Chains A and B, each alone.
Chain A
Amino acid sequence: MSLSRQTMIELMALADGELDGSARDRAERLVAQNEEARQVVEAIRGSRLGPWLDEAIAARSAAADGIADAVMAKLGAAAAREDGGVVRLAASRRGRGASRKPALVASGAAVVALAAGVALVVRVGHDDATAPAPVASVPAPGPIEGPTVAPSVVAQQSAGPAQGVEVDEIDSPSRGVSVFEIPLRSAAAAAASAGPSSVVIWIDDEPGGK
Chain B
Amino acid sequence: MKGRVAIAALACAFLPGLDFSPARAAPAAAGPSLEISVIQATRSDGGASIDPQLRDLPQLTRDQPFVRYNVYRLLDRRQFRLDEGKPVGENLANGRSLQVVLEGVAADAGEKRYRVQAQIGEPGKKAFLRSLEVTASANQPFFVAGQSYDGGTLFLELVIR
Contact = CB atoms under 8 A, between A and B. Distances in A.
B146 A202 contact: yes
Contact of A201 (B113, B137, B142): B142
B67 interface: yes
A125 interface: yes
Interface residues of A, number: 48
Contacts of A182: 59, 63-64, 66
B58 interface: yes
Given A162-B109, A182-B59, A205 B137 contact: no
Contacts, number: 145
A127 to B, nearest CB: 5
B131 A205 contact: no
B144 A201 contact: yes
A169 interface: yes
Contacts of B63: 132, 180, 182-183, 200
Contact of A128 (B68, B135, B148): B68
Interface of B is mostly: strand
B85 to A, nearest CB: 12
A201 B94 contact: no
Contacts of B145: 200-203
A91 to B, nearest CB: 15
Interface stretch (A13-21, A70-78, A170-178): A170-178
B127 A173 contact: yes
Interface of A: 96-100, 125-128, 131-134, 150, 162-175, 178, 180, 182-184, 186-187, 196, 198-206, 208-210
